Amino acid sequence: MALALESTLLRQAGMRHGFFTRQGGVSAPPWDSFNVSFTTGDAPEAVRENLARAAAVLGVTAERIYFLSQVHGTTCRVISGDETAPEVRAERGDVTLSRVPTAACAVRVADCVPVLLADRRSGAVAAVHAGWRGVVRGVVPAAVAALRGLGGGPLDLVAAVGPHIEACCFEVGEDVAMALAGASPLGEAAVDRSRPKARVSLRRIIEAQLRASDAEHLAVDHVLGCTVCDPTRFHSYRRDGKRGGRMLAAIVAPGTPTQFEALVLP
């Protein structure tokens, strides 16, 4: 049972990270078993235990997993590591970034696209929550720009795009299709109009946005999986609704890990 999926490129770059699945946690149905949202009705003690298990994988303490109240925007929050996790959760935004090796930058997803970024030059990292509205508004370019500012120089960027609602299941109306077609240099190439309703590849759009960014060096990795198609491994808002669980995607800046990194989960 895989608690988290990894990006080969991020692992090779020495970045502790994970695209966590719905497996390996303690939450009861319908959030079974790994859910990290306190707002869907799950027992708080179960969510805290799930976060502790994620922390063990990431090599940080559970109190240093930071995610925001996500609003499908472009606001980026730099994490110093001195904040409490509840303080950060109360703030609105969709990107967390840091250079602190004891802080995990994280997002929660259940169909939206998790993107993990790392600058190999400076060690700065970011976690991006990219729903379709955020993609249209430019959350990925905003995160790249914020990472450049945090790193203070040219970017040697590794980007990993995680599991989300893939084009096979992302059926949209014409207004959404047109907005997404205008969100990247791909244009209409990201839209499949061969069926009665358009389907869109957020993965391709995000990669095109990354390649159009101002990173001096860029490597893009894809951690595959459709959240809607695979109920065994993934939560999905489109499939399960509001009372479904939320998954975690997180990354930690390189540095000395805590003793938690060595823990082996049952």
Tell me: the pLDDT tens digits for 54-84? 999 999 999 999 999 999 999 999 999 999 9
Quick one: pLDDT at residue 242?
Answer: 82
Tens-digit pLDDT profile for residues 212-263: 998 999 999 999 999 999 999 999 999 998 888 999 999 999 985 443 333 3
Residue 265 in domain: no
Q: Give the domain CATH number at 242.
A: 3.60.140.10
- Rounded average pLDDT over 150-170: 96
Asked if residue 121 is part of any domain, the answer here is: yes
In this structure, is residue 263 part of a structural domain?
no
Over 80: is that where the pLDDT of 174 sits?
A: yes
Query: What is the tally of structural domains in the chain?
Result: 1
Q: What is the three-state SS of 171-183?
A: EECHHHHHHHHCC
Say how far apart CA 263 and CA 140 lie, in whole Å.
33
pLDDT recorded at residue 260: 33
- The answer to pTM > 0.85 is yes
Domain assignment of residue 18, yes or no:
yes
Residue 11 has pLDDT above 70, yes or no: yes
Domain range holding 11?
4-254
Residue 152 DSSP class: T
Residue 205 has pLDDT above 90, yes or no: yes
φ, ψ of residue 106 to 5 degrees: the values are -140, 160
Tell me the helices (H) and strands (E) count for the chain, helix number first.
8, 14
User: Using CA atoms, how far apart are residues 95 and 73, in angstroms rounded to an integer?
Assistant: 9
How confident is the prediction for the chain on average, in pLDDT? 94
Q: What sign has the CA pseudo-torsion 133, 137, 143, 146?
A: negative
Condensed to tens digits (0 to 9), the pLDDT of residues 118-139 reads 999 999 999 999 999 999 999 9
The predicted pLDDT at position 261 comes to: 35
**1 — pLDDT class (breaks 50, 70, 90):** low
Report the pLDDT value the prediction gives residue 265, as an integer from 0 to 100: 31
In a domain, 212, yes or no: yes
